[in-house]
Structure formats: structure tokens, C-alpha cells
């Protein structure tokens, strides 16, 4: 069965997350078409769209294939004549259309043609429907957002139209990212540290890149307020953490107890140094480790490359000491996902290269992209750069595996 996965704004990040999560949960699945904004996948066994979307924080929607045609005229004809199984009923008569893979100047026309044709189809079958259309859509923002999908209850009632490999596909929206879940998680947890929290989509990405499963042991050795611990706990993992800040340790315990709806996290979250993990935890114990140790603080003006190189040099003892320490408490074959800063300047890019030190310690670098994929997204094979447009300080994401 074929499905479409629609990416968010950070498309390379979304693809890496999809590729890793798909390979871990559905090893026989294939990515049969890749676009900058979506991917079409072929999954042989039963595919739980809702469960899979729950794991993805960087993809917006998943659609299930209804039909495909070789030309757009034939596509509209099929859309007019076929029984399109959108979940339309008397009280749920609102439907929507989203369009992907067309040239920008064609998108609005395709939207209108598909919506009009589908409405005629429903009308001929005795169904009175309403079409969800934005009154004043921003440029190229005709498609519904995940928030609109949930507010308007469009899951099962949105047609996803896609052009790929010179064919035209119709998908039914089967699952969407729930932005309110992350907002509730951020707003409701008892201990807050907003300015220093790792964003939820990054937390989920780091966890997914570990390829871990329920009941396995996860560690964040720079746990802060426990953002990564909460993300891992939502996926059913046993979570452990440490931090040098006593307030953060106490806050992480409160947050994990809150999501567990019971006390007991104090036994697994400790105050301590990430460069001395063997003094806090058992050797060869963890199935996966993920963290965002230190990112440079937000700055309005980027310092000179020499000043940045000095700042990066000061980070090395923490990062390198952590790599050595993490190796001792991880099981063989376990993965370590770590974020380090990458800064763009007018003269050159300044960053902390962890791959050489990781190799010396006893890790191998996991390639996140093939050479072709890296060229397509303008990334590297050995690490992922996550950033927004014009952002100077970026996240450099490595995945290492213990030999």
C-alpha cells in the first residue's frame, strides 16, 4: 500500500526522521518517490498511520492512496466518477483539498479544479458538502495546517492531490501532526524553563534517531527540565537523566512524575557530571543516549570567526569528556545522538567536529543520508544541519553507534 508523508518546513530534518523511523518500524518499506516537500512510501504490511504520525514531529500529514492516473484530465475524470471514500456524513460534511508537487503558478488552479470536481461528485451522490477554503490565504499557503485539520476535524475528509514522477495521485488524509499535544505538554508540565528548552520537534527527532523500543533504557545526561525525558517517556521508554544544576534535577523529577502520573523518578534522575557517568550509572546499561549539551546563546550579531573558534575550543572538554563517559555506560550497538553548535559567518563556518573524537573513543558514525540524498537536500552524509532560513547558529546533529 502506498502513502504520502508531507514534510514540515525543516524538510531535510523531516526526511531523516522519516527514514530512520520507517526503517526501525517497517524495515520492508520503501521510499519510492522523494520531493523537497513530501515522500511517497510503499509499505507491505499493515501500516498504522496514526501511530506512525505520533512518532513524527517534523512531518505534517500522512495520506493513504486512493487512486492514480497518468494525466491530469484522467485524474479529474476519475475524481468525478469514482466513489471517493472521504468520511462525509450529515453532521460532518466539511471537506478540504491540499495540493503538492505542482509548480507554484499551477497550485491555486489545481486546488480549485479538484475541489469543484469533488463537490460535484458528492452532490451527484446526494451528499450536501462544504469546502474548507481559507478566506485570505497567505502566498502558497492554500493547504490546511495541522492545527486547522484538528480544529475542523478534517482527518478522513481531506483529499491530498500530488504530482510525482509524471503521475497524479489522490490520497485520503489518514493522520496529521497534533500541535496541541506539544503545546499542552509545554504549558501543563509543572517545571518550566522555556528559553532553554529543546524544541519538541528536535526532542522527538533525537529520540527517533536512536531506533529504540518500549521498555528500553534511555539517558539524557544534560537533562535540564526533562524535555527529552518526556519525549522518550511518551514512546514508552524507561528514562534516566542527570544534570549539574540541582534545580533542573528537581524540576525534571517533577515533570517525569507528572507524565507518569506517579512518583518514583527521583531514583532515575540524579545530580551529577555528564563527564563522569560511570559514577552515576551502571556500565553497559543504556540502549540509547541523546542530548543537547551546550548551544551558544542567542545573539544579535555574530562575533568574528576567531572569537567563535575560541568559544568552541572552550566547549571541547565538556563534549569530549561526555563522549568518553557515555561510551562506558552504553550497551554494545547502542546509539548516541548529540547536538553541537554550527555557526555561519561572513568568512567561514565555525563548528565543533565530534566525529574524530567519537571514533577514538570507540564509536562509529551512522550515516544519516546517502550521497544522493545529501546532494538533494544540500546536506552532509555524516551529520544533519537543522536550521531555519537565515538562521546563523544552527544545530549540528550526529548519530554514533558503540562498536
Phi, psi of 219 (to 5 degrees): -130, 135
Output DSSP code: residue 104. Answer: H
Q: Compute the average pLDDT of residues 114-125.
A: 93
Distances (CA, A) of 65 to 30, 91, 109, 204: 15, 25, 22, 27
For the ranges 121-125, 133-137, 215-219, which has the lowest average pLDDT? 133-137
Residue corresponding to grid cell 538562521: 391
Mean pLDDT for the chain? 92
Burial of 357 (0-12, 13-18, 19+ CB in 10 A): middle
**Residue 138: pLDDT over 90:** no
Q: Are 96 and 152 within 8 A, CB to CB?
A: yes
Q: In whole angstroms, how far apart are CA 174 and each of 61, 102, 155, 166?
A: 8, 22, 6, 24
Using the Cα atoms of residue 173, residue 174, residue 177 and residue 179 in order, give the sign of their dihedral: positive
204's grid cell? 522527538
Q: In a 10 Å sphere around its CB, with 0-12 CB exposed, 13-18 middle and 19+ buried, how is residue 72 labelled?
A: middle
The pLDDT-based confidence of 351 (bands split at 50, 70, 90) is: very high
Confidence of residue 295 (pLDDT cuts 50, 70, 90): low
Q: What's the pLDDT score for residue 137?
A: 61
User: What is residue 400's DSSP assignment?
Assistant: E
In the block, cell 527514514 appears at 19
Contact, 399 vs 367, CB < 8 A?
Answer: no
Question: Over pLDDT 70: what percentage of the chain?
Answer: 96
Residues of the chain within CATH 3.40.50.150 domain(s) are 184-402
What is the rounded average pLDDT of the residues 56-85? 95
pLDDT at 392: 83
Hey, what's the cell of 17? Answer: 526522521
The pairing of strands 363-365 and 238-243 is: unpaired
Over the stretch 189-204, which tens digit does the pLDDT of each residue have? 999 887 678 888 999 9
Q: How confident is the model at residue 304 (pLDDT cuts 50, 70, 90)?
A: confident
- Please give the C-alpha separations between residue 178 and each of 37, 151, 164, 201, 327, in angstroms, as whole numbers: 19, 10, 26, 12, 36
Q: What is the largest CA-CA distance in the chain?
A: 72
The yes-or-no verdict on residue 264 having pLDDT over 80 is no
Give 382's contacts (C-beta < 8 A, 6+ positions apart): 355, 365, 367, 368, 398
CA separation for the pair 252, 53 (Å, rounded): 26
Least confidently predicted of 94-108, 131-145, 343-357, 382-396: 131-145
Question: Hey, what's the cell of 249?
Answer: 534535577
Beta-ladder partners of 100: 162
Q: State the Cα–Cα distance between residues 234 and 11, nearest whole angstrom.
A: 24
Delimit the CATH 3.30.2130.30 region(s) of the chain: 2-177
pLDDT of residue 299: 63
Give burial (CB, 10 Å; 0-12/13-18/19+) of 131. middle
Rg (CA), the chain: 23
From the number of C-beta atoms within 10 Å of its C-beta (0-12, 13-18, 19+), residue 89 rates as: exposed
Residue 318, SS3 per DSSP:
helix
How many angstroms separate the CA atoms of 160 and 341, rounded?
37
Pick the closest to residue 338 from 40, 273, 321 (CA basis).
321
* Mean pLDDT within 14-32: 95
Q: What does the pLDDT average to over 80-84?
A: 90
Q: Say if residues 305 and 350 touch (Cβ distance below 8 Å).
A: yes
Task: Output 398 or 142, whichever has higher pLDDT.
Answer: 398
**How much is the pLDDT for 110?**
95
pTM here is 0.94
Determine the topology of domain 184-402 in CATH.
Rossmann fold (3.40.50)
Decide: 355 and 321 in contact? Cβ < 8 Å: no
Q: In what order do the strands lie in the sheet with 94-100?
A: 30-34, 38-42, 2-7, 59-69, 167-176, 158-164, 94-100, 130-131
Confidence of residue 44 (pLDDT cuts 50, 70, 90): confident
Pick the CATH number of 2-177 from 3.90.1300.10, 3.30.2010.10, 2.60.120.260, 3.30.2130.30: 3.30.2130.30
Return the pLDDT at 92. Answer: 84
Q: What percent of the chain has pLDDT over 90?
A: 78
Q: What is the pLDDT of residues 355-374, one digit of tens each?
A: 999 999 999 999 999 999 99
What is the average pLDDT across 132-147? 79
The larger pLDDT score, comparing residue 183 to residue 177, is at: 177
Amino acid at each position: 500500500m502506498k502513502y504520502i508523508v508531507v514534510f514540515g518546513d525543516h524538510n531535510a530534518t523531516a526526511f531523516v526522521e522519516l527514514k530512520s523511523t520507517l526503517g526501525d518500524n517497517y524495515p520492508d518499506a520503501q521510499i519510492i518517490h522523494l520531493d523537497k516537500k513530501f515522500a511517497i512510501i510503499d509499505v507491505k504490511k499493515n501500516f498504522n498511520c496514526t501511530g506512525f504520525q505520533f512518532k513524527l514531529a517534523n512531518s505534517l500529514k500522512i495520506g493513504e492512496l486512493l487512486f492514480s492516473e497518468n494525466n491530469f484530465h484522467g485524474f479529474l475524470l476519475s475524481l468525478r466518477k469514482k466513489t471517493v471514500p472521504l468520511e462525509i456524513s450529515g453532521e460532518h460534511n466539511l471537506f478540504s483539498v491540499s495540493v503538492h508537487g505542482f509548480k507554484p503558478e499551477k497550485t491555486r488552479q489545481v486546488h480549485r479544479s479538484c475541489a469543484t470536481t469533488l463537490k460535484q461528485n458528492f452532490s451527484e451522490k446526494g451528499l450536501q458538502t462544504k469546502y474548507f477554503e481559507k478566506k485570505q490565504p497567505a502566498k502558497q499557503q492554500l493547504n490546511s495546517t495541522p492545527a486547522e485539520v484538528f480544529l475542523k476535524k478534517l482527518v478522513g475528509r481531506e483529499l491530498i492531490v500530488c504530482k510525482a514522477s509524471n503521475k497524479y495521485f489522490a490520497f485520503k488524509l489518514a493522520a496529521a501532526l497534533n500541535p496541541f499535544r506539544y503545546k499542552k505538554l509545554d504549558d501543563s508540565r509543572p517545571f518550566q524553563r522555556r528559553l532553554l528548552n529543546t524544541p519538541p520537534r528536535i526532542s522527538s527527532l533525537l529520540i527517533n534517531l536512536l531506533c529504540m523500543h518500549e521498555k528500553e533504557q534511555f539517558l539524557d545526561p544534560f537533562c535540564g527540565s526533562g524535555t527529552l525525558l518526556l519525549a522518550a517517556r511518551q514512546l514508552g521508554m524507561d528514562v534516566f537523566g542527570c544534570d549539574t544544576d540541582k534545580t533542573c534535577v528537581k524540576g525534571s523529577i517533577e515533570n517525569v512524575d507528572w507524565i507518569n502520573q506517579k512518583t518514583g523518578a527521583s531514583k532515575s534522575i540524579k545530580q551529577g557530571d555528564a563527564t563522569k557517568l560511570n559514577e552515576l550509572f551502571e556500565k553497559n546499561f543504556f540502549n540509547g543516549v541523546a542530548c543537547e549539551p551546550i548551544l551558544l546563546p542567542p545573539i544579535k550579531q555574530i562575533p568574528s570567526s576567531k572569537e567563535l573558534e575560541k568559544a568552541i575550543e572552550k566547549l571541547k572538554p565538556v563534549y569530549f569528556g561526555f563522549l568518553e563517559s557515555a561510551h562506558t555506560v552504553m550497551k554494545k550497538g547502542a546509539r548516541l545522538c548529540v547536538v553541537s553548535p554550527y555557526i555561519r559567518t561572513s568568512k567561514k563556518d565555525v563548528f565543533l567536529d565530534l566525529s574524530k573524537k567519537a571514533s577514538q573513543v570507540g564509536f562509529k558514525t551512522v550515516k544519516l543520508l546517502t550521497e544522493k540524498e545529501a546532494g538533494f537536500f544540500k546536506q552532509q552524509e555524516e551529520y544533519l544541519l537543522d536550521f531555519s532560513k537565515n538562521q546563523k547558529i544552527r544545530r549540528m546533529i550526529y548519530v554514533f553507534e558503540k562498536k
